[in-house]
Structures are given as structure tokens and as C-alpha cells.
């Protein structure tokens, strides 16, 4: 579903700017995950893609930021703040 949304937006966007096939390929690879294992990530990406103000040229950076943020949030839950002193 997310793959289809990305491709549709890239094909229909009036001015792709610097966004090219390589960027499209990287974006599709970033979201190439099983739905069950990455539901939070994919739902955030879907929201970004569906936002009419988000241009395809911004996808690559935004997807990477979401991935990094969710990675840190996942490990932040496991940290014991008592051990930081």
C-alpha cells in the first residue's frame, strides 16, 4: 500500500525537482518491510506521503528521520535512567 502511494505521488507530482529514479528506489527500499513488524513506521510514512504539502523530493530525508526517531524511541524505553548518574 505505501509503495503504491509513493509511486502514485511521484508520477503525478507536477514538479519533481531533484527527485529522480534513484531517490524513488531508495524510498521504496526504506519502506520495504513487513506490515506486522513495522506498523508504526509504515503508518507514519503513509501519513507523510498522503500529506498534500509533502513533495517527493522531501521523501528520502523524511523517511530516514522517521526511521532514526523510531529506532531511538524503541531503545529509550529500555534505558534505566537510574544508571545514568
3-13 per-position pLDDT tens digit = 999 999 999 99
20-52 per-position pLDDT tens digit = 999 999 889 888 877 776 788 888 889 999 999
- Rounded distance, CA 11 to CA 1, Å? 16
What is the average pLDDT across 69-75?
80
Between the CA of residue 72 and those of 1, 12, 63, what are the distances in Å?
A: 26, 34, 14
In this structure, what C-alpha cell is assigned to residue 18? 531533484
Helix H or strand E encompassing 11:
helix 2-12
* CB 31 within 8 Å of CB 2: yes
- pTM tops 0.85: no
Note the pLDDT of residue 40: 82
Amino acid at each position: 500500500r505505501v509503495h503504491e502511494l509513493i509511486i502514485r505521488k511521484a508520477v503525478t507530482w507536477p514538479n519533481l525537482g531533484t527527485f529522480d529514479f534513484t531517490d524513488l528506489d531508495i524510498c521504496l527500499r526504506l519502506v520495504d518491510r513487513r506490515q506486522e513488524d513495522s506498523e508504526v513506521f509504515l503508518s507514519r510514512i503513509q501519513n507523510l506521503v498522503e500529506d498534500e504539502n509533502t513533495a517527493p523530493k522531501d521523501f528520502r530525508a523524511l523517511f530516514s528521520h522517521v526511521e532514526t526517531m523510531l529506532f531511538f524511541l524503541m531503545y529509550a524505553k529500555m534505558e534505566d535512567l537510574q544508571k545514568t548518574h
